[in-house]
Amino acid sequence: MYTSSGFISFALRRLTGVALVVYLFMHLWVIGSVNAGPEAFDARLAFVQQPLFKLLEVALLAAVVYHAVDGIRIMVVHYTGITEYRKSMFYAVLAVSTLLVIAGGVPIIRFMLEG
Amino acid sequence: MSNPSTHPTATVRIQRFNPETDAKPHMQEFQVELKPGVTVLDALHEIKTHQDGSLTFRRSCRHAICGSCAMHVNGKNELVCNAPLKDRLDRNGRITIRPLPYLPIIKDLVVDRSSFWEQYLRVKPWLMPPADTPEKEFRMSPEEVAALNSAETCIMCGACYSSCQIVGLTKEYIGPHALLKAFLRVMDPRDAIPGARLADLDGADGVYRCRTIFNCIDACPKNLNPTLAIETLRKLAQKREAFEQARIERQKHLDEPIPAR
Amino acid sequence: MRVFQMQRISAIALVVFLTIHMIVVHYPPFHIDFDQIIIRMADPLWKAIDIVFLFFVLVHALAGAWVVLTDVQRFSRLKRAFAGAAIVIGLIAFYYGTKTILAFQPPV
Ligand code: HEM
Ligand code: HEM
Ligand code: SF4
Ligand code: FES
């Protein structure tokens, strides 16, 4: 096993990507309940909005944000050919992701606590 | 052997594997005197000569040019002949040496590099000169030489290849070493078949298998940049025909003096 | 077009669409129920946005899953089968998802 910041970024990107694919299909199924009418939709959405799910939602947010920001980093490398700053760029991805997750996660947690 | 040494000792942890007796690799520790100027390769020699003659590893030139001695030292690939032992010791005076990762182990620190060489041959690593070769010499401009990004200095050590997680996943990937070599030939104004080369690289096992992990850059003892070579090849593959056409034009003037700027 | 390009183009589209999506379904945080969602979803423009988003997210997700699987040597023989499966799953999911989006109709 060859560990490096490059490997960690790759493993996280792949892991979050696969997790998002799984989420996507569950999500299509949850939202698909509207096909059975508003009542079915409200029932299923009430189920997935219990407090525990709100915590999972923050985890989902973290996955989306990391995957997206790191994906943008990869595309910047494709476009510019910048390879000297590969380590700093990865740390920047982690920093930006952390900030975005805090900014997005705090309101969700507060909503969960205050109802 | 009992005269007390004035030198401190280093603990060398080596991954051992003998296919005839071992089911799986295990670690073994040796103590080596830390004399000034000793390299990691010297330590291996010291062990092989004085402590355990069965220790198996590859080396040849001892001058970082033959590419035989690449190993996995403290989690990084490098040439052990060029690595000062002192700099590789941790706080407890220990160093860990394993064979190159992601390749089948033949014995101890020797790995099977067949896939490395097969992929190398696949990209036709030699120069394909044009049908009309100039009478005297091929002339390249300084810019054309600079664009090769020193790729010609690769010593085929395999450090990049075996640092790549994608190589770990699939040996069908051409790999950073061979893609770098292909880049060298594609960029070379004397090469007559850049279009065919790009066509072969432009597939799922070529430039599109790279996931931009960058380990190859970190691993290369010659400070080469296989990632950038792959990015460049991807872009050139998009405009393969125009590139080939420009090459044909260029080769009409291969023996002319480089115009002064 | 190569899977590689599909992945990048859909990724750029997703930067836009997924950002919009995450913002409109969260900020300010609210309890999601039909009456809330329909305020926005009654607008055909939002339905169109959602359908385009659905298209790109499926392309990206299935291309990505294909890449993850075919990076493994053992599965490379199956790359055609996986591609076929991805196309079928993609078409079914796109049909079902579009139907879902169009089902967001204000009660009459
Ligand atoms: C703004 C949003 C997104 C951006 C910018 C983005 C970007 C990228 C990029 C550039 C890659 C290629 C990575 C590589 O070749 O190593 C990728 C791979 C992938 N993405 Fe995304 N993505 C986004 C959202 C999503 C979503 C919503 C999903 C799931 C539904 C997803 C699933 C995947 C998967 C499974 C892969 C393959 C993983 C891999 O090759 O390691 N992505 N993404
Ligand atoms: C926890 C965060 C999320 C919430 C609360 C949420 C909520 C919703 C809601 C309420 C809808 C109904 C349509 C609309 O309002 O526009 C919807 C649709 C959709 N969402 Fe999300 N979403 C979330 C995250 C995601 C993520 C991460 C993805 C991508 C992987 C995604 C992909 C989709 C798609 C493709 C649709 C269209 C649905 C369909 O065609 O059936 N959502 N989402
Ligand atoms: S590119 Fe560098 S690491 Fe790779 S084989 Fe050549 S010299 Fe070794
Ligand atoms: S022994 Fe030749 S490169 Fe190290």
ipTM value for the complex: 0.94
pLDDT at residue B259 in the model: 66
**Is residue B222 in contact with ligand 4, taking CB distance under 6 Å?**
no
C2 part of contact set with chain B, CB < 8 Å? yes
Paired sense of beta strands B9-16 and B26-33, if any: antiparallel
Q: Do residues C63 and C6 lie in contact, with contact meaning Cβ atoms separated by under 8 Å?
A: yes
List, as one string, the DSSP characters of C27-90.
Answer: SS-----HHHHHHHHTSHHHHHHHHHHHHHHHHHHHHHHHHHHHTSGGGGGGHHHHHHHHHHHH
Mutate to test the pocket of ligand 2, among C14, C15, C17, C21 (most ligand atoms within 8 A of CB): C21
**Is residue A57 in contact with ligand 2, taking CB distance under 6 Å?**
yes
Contact assignment for A64 to C18 by CB distance below 8 Å = yes
Tens-digit pLDDT string for chain B (261 aa): 455 557 899 999 999 999 999 999 999 999 999 999 999 999 999 999 999 999 999 999 999 999 999 999 999 999 999 999 999 999 999 999 999 999 999 999 999 999 999 999 999 999 999 988 877 888 888 999 999 999 999 999 999 999 999 999 999 999 999 999 999 999 999 999 999 999 999 988 999 999 999 999 999 999 999 999 999 999 999 999 999 999 999 998 888 777 665
List, in order of start, the domains of chain A with CATH numbers: 5-114 (1.20.1300.10)
Cα-to-centroid distance, B67 and ligand 3 (Å) = 8
Residue of B nearest to C73 (CA): B170
Q: Do residues B106 and B112 lie in contact, with contact meaning Cβ atoms separated by under 8 Å?
A: yes
Burial of C81 (C-beta count, 10 Å sphere; 0-12/13-18/19+):
exposed
Residue A19 has pLDDT above 70, yes or no: yes
Cβ contacts of A84-90, under 8 Å, gap ≥ 24: A86/A5, A86/A6, A86/B214, A86/B217, A87/A5, A90/A5, A90/A6, A90/A8, A90/A9
Q: What would you measure as the largest C-alpha separation in chain B, in angstroms?
A: 73
Contact assignment for B214 to A86 by CB distance below 8 Å = yes
Q: Do residues B105 and B190 lie in contact, with contact meaning Cβ atoms separated by under 8 Å?
A: no
**Chain B residues closer than 8 Å to A12 by CB:** none
Using a CB–CB cut-off of 8 Å, the residues of B that contact A are: 72, 75, 77, 101-102, 162-165, 168, 211-215, 217-218, 225, 227-228, 231-232, 234
Residue of A nearest to C16 (CA): A68
Q: Do residues A34 and A69 lie in contact, with contact meaning Cβ atoms separated by under 8 Å?
A: no
Where exactly are the structural domains of chain C?
Answer: 3-102
B246 part of contact set with chain C, CB < 8 Å? no
List, in order of start, the domains of chain B with CATH numbers: 4-111 (3.10.20.30), 114-251 (1.10.1060.10)
A85 part of contact set with chain B, CB < 8 Å? no
Task: Tell me the pTM.
Answer: 0.94
Architecture of domain C3-102: Up-down Bundle (1.20)
Q: What are C39-74's pLDDT values in tens digits?
A: 999 999 999 999 999 999 999 999 999 999 999 999
**Which partners does chain C have (≥3 C-beta pairs < 8 Å)?**
A, B
Mutate to test the pocket of ligand 2, among C22, C25, C27 (most ligand atoms within 8 A of CB): C25
> What is the DSSP-derived secondary structure letter of residue B10?
E
